[in-house]
A and B are shown apart, each in its own frame.
Chain A
Amino acid sequence: GAVVSQHPSRVICKSGTSVKIECRSLDFQATTMFWYRQFPKQSLMLMATSNEGSKATYEQGVEKDKFLINHASLTLSTLTVTSAHPEDSSFYICSARGGGSYEQFFGPGTRLTVL
């Protein structure tokens, strides 16, 4: 099956710093990648959708200047949380979809803790 990895799995940072999370499709070309945020005991909230080589499309209420998404290749997307604050602490999950396919494959998630 299709495999999606995320790195790092956990990150702890100080308030005000920026954190980059990588999402990679290991055995397929991901034309579209999605970034989700999940608060404890809650559902996944879609933050943004990115197509390779294009600017990401952000969902309503998501600050695009705070959550920078880059999808520079068919196997890699990155999410950078800029000037992180404690309220940005959350579980971030990416997923990837290949061209022409409806199915998304999910990464294992990244636990961000901002002190």
Chain B
Amino acid sequence: AQSVTQLDSQVPVFEEAPVELRCNYSSSVSVYLFWYVQYPNQGLQLLLKYLSGSTLVKGINGFEAEFNKSQTSFHLRKPSVHISDTAEYFCAVSDRGGGSNYKLTFGKGTLLTVNP
């Protein structure tokens, strides 16, 4: 079984400030890691993913995340946020083996609000 914990339900920041959204996971098997963004009344858009290799992954819209195996974390960062980054962000994991059809387990989400 897998679980994902997003430590902050809401993160308010000012425009152009840096931001970090935290994500920790628990799994008995090796996993793939994902961050998704959801704008109001829309589906999910993939920001970035970690499959293997370099632990620092870069995604769309200037976001990046670092996989830390020892701390079982996959925190999302952006050095300078824009008003348009205001959205809900979900961290998710799936097992690598594919036996579960690569089902995703989601965290509860973090609402990022960027204020002018």
* Total count of chain A residues near the partner, CB < 8 A: 24
- Cβ-based interface call for A44 (8 A): yes
- Provide the residues of chain B in CB contact with A34, threshold 8 Å: 101, 103-104
- Cβ-based interface call for A104 (8 A): yes
- Provide the residues of chain A in CB contact with B14, threshold 8 Å: none
Which secondary structure dominates where chain A touches chain B? strand
> In chain B, residues 37-63, which have Cβ atoms closer than 8 Å to a Cβ of chain A?
41-46, 49, 51
> In chain B, residues 86-107, which have Cβ atoms closer than 8 Å to a Cβ of chain A?
90, 94, 96, 98, 101-104, 106-107
Q: How far is the CB of A108 from chain B (nearest CB, A)?
A: 4
A32-B101, A43-B90, A93-B43 known; A102 and B109 CB under 8 Å? Answer: no
B102 with A102: CB separation less than 8 A? yes
Interface residues of B (CB under 8 A from A): 32, 36, 41-46, 49, 51, 90, 94, 96, 98, 101-104, 106-109, 111
Q: Can you identify 17 A-B contacts, CB atoms within 8 angstroms? A: A32-B102, A34-B103, A34-B104, A43-B106, A44-B90, A46-B104, A91-B41, A93-B43, A95-B44, A97-B101, A102-B51, A103-B46, A103-B49, A103-B102, A104-B104, A106-B44, A109-B41
